Structure 1
Amino acid sequence: MKKLFAEFFGTYWLVFGGCGSALFAAGFPELGIGFAGVALAFGLTVLTMAYAVGHISGGHFNPAVSFGLWAGGRFPAKDLIPYIIAQCIGAIAAAGTLYTIASGKAGFVIDATKAGAFASNGFGAFSPDGYSLAAAFIAEFVLTLFFLLIILGATDKFANTSFAGIAIGLALTLIHLISIPITNTSVNPARSLSQAIFVGGEPLSQVWLFWVAPILGAIVAGFIYKTLLQKQDDTE
């Protein structure tokens, strides 16, 4: 249960910090943090929670990461569903908190016809810059693949794991710097689901892509790392 609570709180913080920065700070008049600030916020949430609770649960905070670590031989299949449930509950709880805070401002309303509404992900008309379904799928697949390669490499028993959280946090920052205009950046099915639930409409109907593409990318990364990159013990 401690592992599941760690995943709950870690994913809560990721969604609250990352999506919260997009909702409240990105476009604040004259002092807004912009895309770069939002990208950094997402990276910082993972970095901080990796050191806070990573030693308890492994610090996944993302169903795609759990699948990738399973494919890489680092995580047991029996724990996949419990971890994913804990991650989704944490993400939805964070989105609910963000919605409650946002509702405290007069005139707040979620426009489900607008790209990026309530920090949701999307493609086509719901992509921040109008990218197609195919473009969104490729971006999410490739970015999640490399995210998992970085995670698997940084946490390898032969690596200097003391700095793993920094590498992983910076990787997520870079991923957001690349892809916010494309999909509003997911690479995390729980993060996408949580925001889409509160938006509804087309963003909710598009959330399937932000489960399928990241999970496929993560699984491919796991197999690539295990078969092509992972260093073996000299005795093996």
Structure 2
Amino acid sequence: MLQKYLAEFIGTFWLVLGGCGSAVLSAKFPEVGIGLAGVALAFGLTVLTGAYALGPISGGHFNPAVTVGLWAGGRFPARQIAPYIVVQVAGGIVAAAVLYAIASGKPGFDATAGFAANGYGEHSPGNYSLGSALITEVVMTFMFVLVILGATHTRAPVGFAGLAIGLALTLVHLISIPVTNTSVNPARSTGPALFAGVWALSQLWLFWLAPLLGGILAGVLYRGVLEREVPEPDVAGRPEGGWRPAHH
């Protein structure tokens, strides 16, 4: 189990350092900055590379919402939820500390100005409300975990899960960075919030509640509905020939 925990720690560390690091260090240079699309791609690349490098060891969750979603989907044992979440959050915090050590070397750096922390209201990049943030985080996490469950199914094409998951996280960020700075991951939110200050910590509850809820909903739906066997229709659209898997 030590290998699994270490893999989850490193994977979450890489996700937060790569994703949040791109936002803090690289996004705001008008002439050469990577911008919103670049930050979104950076988050996707961290998960893609981490999934292929560390997924064979720990499953490559790197996210408490994914861990809980996989449990709800019948893919992960309940007894391992707490240890996985602990090491994921630890990885996120250490990554944020490393990023702070790098970013604070620039004159005028102020972590309280953002530090890639998630927020709503006046702390939303687009000044979106609490309600908008809640809906966004639940729906984006729901879709992200749904992609993970489908891409890692035994009937899915072998070897492509990491690519699908990385691209899904990129898309999630392209949609939702203006609303919340995109969490869909409580560990990713917790690390930067510790350095961004009181405002980020006071809003952190949303970025635990919404992703966990979205992950659980995805797991329940996938296990209870999408994974169930369905009849394959004939050319007229009527069930024929008995019951077959939903994915063929």
The TM-score normalised by the length of structure 2 is: 0.91
Task: Report what 2:124 is aligned to.
Answer: 127
Deviations 1:7-35, CA, capped at 9 Å, x for gaps: 00000000000000001110124001000
Task: Report what 1:138 is aligned to.
Answer: 135
Deviations 1:178-223, CA, capped at 9 Å, x for gaps: 0000000000000001000111211110000000000001001000
What does 1:81-160 correspond to in 2, within 5 Å? 81-110=82-111, 112=112, 114=113, 117-160=114-157
The TM-score normalised by the length of structure 1 is: 0.95
Q: Aligned pair count?
A: 231
Task: Report what 2:49 is aligned to.
Answer: 48
Q: For residue 83 of structure 1, report the CA deviation from its aligned partner.
A: 0.2
SS at match of 2:128: coil
SS at match of 2:159: helix
CA distance in 1, matches of 2:164, 2:68: 20
Task: Report what 1:73 is aligned to.
Answer: 74
Unaligned 5+ segments in structure 2 are 230-242
CA distance in 1, matches of 2:85, 2:158: 24
Task: Report what 2:64 is aligned to.
Answer: 63
CA distance in 2, matches of 1:171, 1:211: 20
Q: Does 1:199 align with 2:196?
A: yes
What does 1:185-196 correspond to in 2, within 5 Å? 185-196=182-193
Task: Report what 1:176 is aligned to.
Answer: 173
Alignment RMSD (CA, Å)? 1.3
Letter in 2 for 1:180: I
Task: Report what 2:213 is aligned to.
Answer: 216
SS at match of 1:162: coil
Letter in 2 for 1:225: Y
Q: For residue 161 of structure 1, report the CA deviation from its aligned partner.
A: 3.1
SS at match of 2:115: helix
More strand by share: 2
Deviations 1:134-175, CA, capped at 9 Å, x for gaps: 100000000000101100000001111310000000000000
Unaligned 5+ segments in structure 1 are none
CA distance in 2, matches of 1:54, 1:191: 18
Task: Report what 2:163 is aligned to.
Answer: 166
CA distance in 2, matches of 1:177, 1:106: 30
Task: Report what 2:14 is aligned to.
Answer: 13
SS at match of 1:30: coil
